[in-house]
Amino acid sequence: MMTEQLIKVPDIGGAEGAEVVEVLVAPGESIELEQSLVVIESDKASMEIPAPQAGIVGELRVAVGDAVSEGDVILVLASSSDGVDADSAMAPSVADESSTPVTEVPPELLDGTGASESAGQADQQAHSEPSTPEIIDITIPDLGSDQGADLVEILVPVGTAVEEGDSLVLLESDKASMEVPAPASGTVTEWLVEAGTTVKEGTLIARLAVSHAPQSVSPSESALQGMGAESEQAGADREVSQPPSARLDSPEGGQGERLLAQASPTALAQAAGADSAMVYAGPAVRKLAREFGISLSQVKGTGSRGRVLKEDLHRFVAQALASDNTGSAASLPTVPEQDYARFGAIESITRSRIDKVTAANMVRSWLNVPHVTQFDDADISELERFRKDLKPEASQRGVRITPLPFILKACAVALRDHPKLKSSLADNGETLVMKRYCHIGMAVDTPAGLVVPVIRDVDKKSIWDLAAEVAELAEKARDKKLKPDDMQGGVFTVSSLGAVGGRGFTPIVNTPEVAILGVGRAAVQPVWDGEVFRPHTLLPLALSYDHRVVNGGDGGRFLSALTALLADVKRMVM
Ligand code: CAO
């Protein structure tokens, strides 16, 4: 028979007004026994509230951002059982509301009364025992699970004087972190475990020399003193002077792992590294961060009040990997983001994938390649006359004849004679790969960003072929029809901004190529011929190269050969 039960916030160690930071289930969802329902956080602890039994989530009574206290209803759970056996009940309290069945949860779980009684007994015992200095064992209290927990940090070295309630170690399971407090004031004389050990209830972890102590007090008993029926004064004192205590909230023989904990910021500082300490994050996220070796202080939290979520860690790792791919060194100072809206109206536009890939390629080249750029003008007066003569034939052929096919062809010839300019470095700089082919990339400006299709075997193609291919690839690029293959295998790149304008620019080498030619806008200029100034059409060229491979002499010779070829196109067929 299906019954409805109210799942309530259990005793959360006295934390009033803890905030619901994540709701992990949705109405109608089938949940398993112990599946986490919500994550709540107080200023001292983060904890996941598990389901006390399997069932189907009915109504959710809390939302992210709500402040909850012990006894507040989290959700209504429909389950096929008539209730939860008291002995197997987990910490969220399951209680009736009008007609809903009551599920008894041991009082020591729900309201701390039993715990407080125990604590009171321990307290009484402590006060009735003679106070003599002695060595006491520190053992792990009831963790509410047979699976144990990782002891992630020893918080006080041997020889440290501690006050009763000071945190000694930090434990973490998948679901919670907790500190084990000192059961009495004294000095830690010995550690019997190391960080990284898995511990269970009863594991002997340390010895403490105490001056005024009960014969035997486990940390759990001491911790429990802070939880329930202690006197108001004692509670007040504890709030002021004592670090938060650990509270274990599962009955003996309870099923599954169950830790409720309060973790003091101070202890977490020691546990997670000083810079991670003040970061607002739950135990599972802290654990994951440690596994990744990430300092949480580096991660921007997107959860409520800047809480670091698992997704934030994943994003951080993805970004770190991506930045490795771009070759940007992690140590590079970053440019701080600005709040531009402070200065006026703004609009944020998502960048195209091409823009982002280009940016990454530019950074990689800029950071890896020592660039040198050499400039020269090619006198293309004759070429321009020839080009004009070809225009009627070009229109018959259905192609546009611009200076670019001539420039590509001239580059192919110059590269044949200066093959270093079309080589690539390999083996970490040990080897130079010389290429016997001549595929040249051509930068194309498209609305979606800059792309560089590659024209194969430029050295073997006619000016007409090249003119047709330039037009075809440019169109494909603008229609986003280029295939990955169309953009691979280049040995050298030509970036022509001639049609756009500008006297010249310093192009960035398209790695792993070692050189790139930037072409500016041709202009008619007076050139002194020894007797008079005559008008000549000059084409500004800028050759950028990787100075690890190409030295100034190589670059200069290549550029001279290129300008000579462009000045006298007949030479291209030689
Ligand atoms: N000087 C003067 N005029 C030039 C010229 C130059 N260097 N280059 C081309 N022109 C002229 C052409 O002759 C044509 O005029 P006509 O039709 O009268 O002959 C006109 O400018 C338009 O040319 P085009 O741009 O259509 O053709 P193209 O062959 O010169 O270039 C392409 C093709 C795809 C390379 C070009 O359109 C393009 O996208 N260039 C941009 C490359 C780029 O963005 N580089 C920067 C990369 S780094 O940020």
Burial class (CB in 10 A: 0-12, 13-18, 19+), 344: exposed
- To the query of whether residue 127 is one of the catalytic residues in this protein, the response is no
Q: Tell me, rounded to whole angstroms, the distance of Cα 444 from its chain centroid.
A: 33
Closest CA to 519 of 493, 495, 491, 537: 495
**How many angstroms does the Cα of residue 498 sit away from the middle of ligand 1?**
5
d(CA 37, CA 53): 11
More confident residue, 369 or 129: 369
Is 409 in contact with 415 (CB distance < 8 Å)? Answer: no
Task: Report angle CA 3, 35, 28 to the nearest 5 degrees.
Answer: 50
**Encoding tokens for residue 535?**
């008008």
**How many angstroms does the Cα of residue 428 sit away from the middle of ligand 1?**
37
Look at the domain 2-117 and name its fold.
OB fold (Dihydrolipoamide Acetyltransferase, E2P) (2.40.50)
**How many angstroms does the Cα of residue 496 sit away from the middle of ligand 1?**
6
**How many angstroms does the Cα of residue 565 sit away from the middle of ligand 1?**
19
Residues of the chain with CATH 2.40.50.100: 2-117, 127-237
Q: Which atom of ligand 1 is nearest to the CA of 539?
A: 7
Q: Which atom of ligand 1 is nearest to the CA of 387?
A: 19
DSSP string, 223-264: HHTTTSS--HHHHHHHHHHSPPPPB----TT-SS---B----
Q: Which atom of ligand 1 is nearest to the CA of 473?
A: 34
Q: Terminal CA-to-CA distance of the chain, rounded, Å?
A: 95
Q: Cβ(498) to ligand 1 under 6 A?
A: yes
Q: Which of 58-72, 161-175, 265-279, 401-415 has the lowest mean pLDDT?
A: 265-279
- The CA–CA distances, whole Å, from 550 to 144, 334, 514 equal 69, 31, 7
- pLDDT higher than threshold 90 for residue 328: no
The mean pLDDT of the chain is: 78
- pLDDT higher than threshold 90 for residue 49: no
Q: Which atom of ligand 1 is nearest to the CA of 391?
A: 19
**How many angstroms does the Cα of residue 448 sit away from the middle of ligand 1?**
18
**How many angstroms does the Cα of residue 86 sit away from the middle of ligand 1?**
81
Q: Cβ(470) to ligand 1 under 6 A?
A: yes
Express each pLDDT in 529-558 by its tens digit: 999 999 999 999 999 999 999 999 999 999
Q: Cβ(404) to ligand 1 under 6 A?
A: yes
| pLDDT-derived band at 509, boundaries 50, 70, 90 | very high
- pLDDT higher than threshold 50 for residue 251: no
Residues of the chain with CATH 4.10.320.10: 244-323
d(CA 21, CA 36): 13
d(CA 135, CA 91): 34
pLDDT of residue 21: 80
Express each pLDDT in 202-221 by its tens digit: 899 999 988 754 444 444 43
Q: Which atom of ligand 1 is nearest to the CA of 450?
A: 44
The residue to mutate among 496, 509, 519, 525, having the most atoms of ligand 1 within 8 angstroms of its beta carbon, is 496
- pLDDT higher than threshold 50 for residue 255: no
Residues of the chain with CATH 3.30.559.10: 359-573
* CATH numeric code, 127-237: 2.40.50.100
pTM above 0.75, yes or no: no
Closest CA to 175 of 316, 8, 38: 38
Radius of gyration, alpha carbons of the chain? 37
Is 34 in contact with 50 (CB distance < 8 Å)? Answer: yes
- CB under 8 Å to 11, separation ≥6 — which residues? 70, 91, 109, 110, 111, 112, 227, 228, 247, 249, 260
Q: Cβ(450) to ligand 1 under 6 A?
A: yes
Is 503 in contact with 474 (CB distance < 8 Å)? Answer: no
Looking at domain 359-573, its CATH superfamily turns out to be Chloramphenicol acetyltransferase-like domain (3.30.559.10)
- pLDDT higher than threshold 50 for residue 405: yes
Q: Cβ(497) to ligand 1 under 6 A?
A: yes
**How many angstroms does the Cα of residue 555 sit away from the middle of ligand 1?**
24
Q: Looking at ligand 1, which residue's alpha carbon is closest to its atom 7? A: 498
pLDDT of residue 305: 64
More confident residue, 170 or 80: 170
Q: Which atom of ligand 1 is nearest to the CA of 477?
A: 34
- CB under 8 Å to 96, separation ≥6 — which residues? 5, 6, 102, 103
Q: Looking at ligand 1, which residue's alpha carbon is closest to its atom 6? A: 498
Phi, psi of 409 (to 5 degrees): -65, -45
Q: Tell me, rounded to whole angstroms, the distance of Cα 129 from its chain centroid.
A: 55
Mean pLDDT comparison of 191-205, 279-293, 371-385, highest-scoring range = 371-385
| pLDDT-derived band at 377, boundaries 50, 70, 90 | very high
Q: Cβ(495) to ligand 1 under 6 A?
A: yes
Look at the domain 244-323 and name its fold.
Dihydrolipoamide Transferase (4.10.320)
d(CA 254, CA 88): 5
The residue to mutate among 385, 390, 404, having the most atoms of ligand 1 within 8 angstroms of its beta carbon, is 404
Closest CA to 175 of 239, 242, 106, 257: 257
